[in-house]
Amino acid sequence: MNKLVVVTGGTKGIGRSIIERFAKEGFDIVTCARNQSDLNALKGEVEKNFNVGVYLFVADLTDKKQVQRFVDFVNNLNRPIDVLVNNTGYFEPGQITEEPDGILEKMIHSNLYSAYYTTRGLVGGMKERKWGHIFTICSIASIKAYPNGGSYGISKFALLGFTKVLREELKEFGIRVTAVMPGATKTSSWDSSELPESRFMKPEDVASSIYGAYSLSKNSVVEEILIRPQLGDI
């Protein structure tokens, strides 16, 4: 039986590249997104290009009840999870003192709580087997405040803290935990930018760095992956 990777928010950008990278290595895929047609398109392309299974679930992980339904779906597959990638999240620019009321709550639910509740729901099997690897897609914004980062920066700082705590809690169970902090990556979030592609990282590079960290022996863990555009932050 193939190994299994669970990737939240896997239809676009970094999440999609992670799925394609692990599928290339023979992993079956479980993913979720809010749009069924996007999920169907992903499944068709991955199964066409790679000899793996793809399991889909429609969910908005900003909603705790939908997170639980996704967790139940994954657990009901009765498959050991080798890799969990907490990828769900979004960015909305703004300033703390000026952004609309409710933005902080939205960012926390999307960027922090989704990873918190998904991990809590899926880690049990990893602890029983004393094996697994959890990646959480943080951001350069997890370590560097910048103008117009607003509540996004708050949520990503918190997400890095979550990952650091998780690492300490799970090390005795043989579960590796890695925070991934990408800089500006060429995804749909930057579609309106007029900057040349040379100023951005490729999502495939982020995916390759994640697979490389996973590929190490069980004696080692990459606790943090900090990856920036060659020409520096944007």
Q: What are the angstrom distances between the C-alpha of 9 and each of 6, 67, 189? A: 10, 12, 14
pLDDT of residue 190: 65
Exposed e or buried b for every residue in 11-45, given b needs 16+ CB within 10 A? bbbbbbbbbbbbbeeebbbbbbbeeeebbeebbee
| pLDDT surpassing 80 at residue 130 | yes
| pLDDT surpassing 80 at residue 117 | yes
Q: Which CATH superfamily is domain 4-227 in?
A: NAD(P)-binding Rossmann-like Domain (3.40.50.720)
Which segment of 1-15, 84-98, 175-189 scores lowest on mean pLDDT? 175-189
Whether 45 and 67 have beta carbons less than 8 Å apart is answered as: no
Residue 24 DSSP one-character state? H
In this predicted model, what pLDDT tens digit does every residue of 35-80 receive, in sequence order? 999 999 999 999 999 999 999 999 999 999 999 999 999 999 999 9
Entry field: residues in the chain? 234
Q: How many whole angstroms separate alpha carbon 83 and alpha carbon 192?
A: 33
Average pLDDT of 74-101?
A: 94
Whether 82 and 139 have beta carbons less than 8 Å apart is answered as: no
- To 5 degrees, how large is the angle CA 48–CA 135–CA 229? 85
What are the extents of the domains in the chain?
4-227
Average pLDDT of 188-205?
A: 79
Q: How many CB atoms lie under 10 A from the CB of residue 83? A: 21
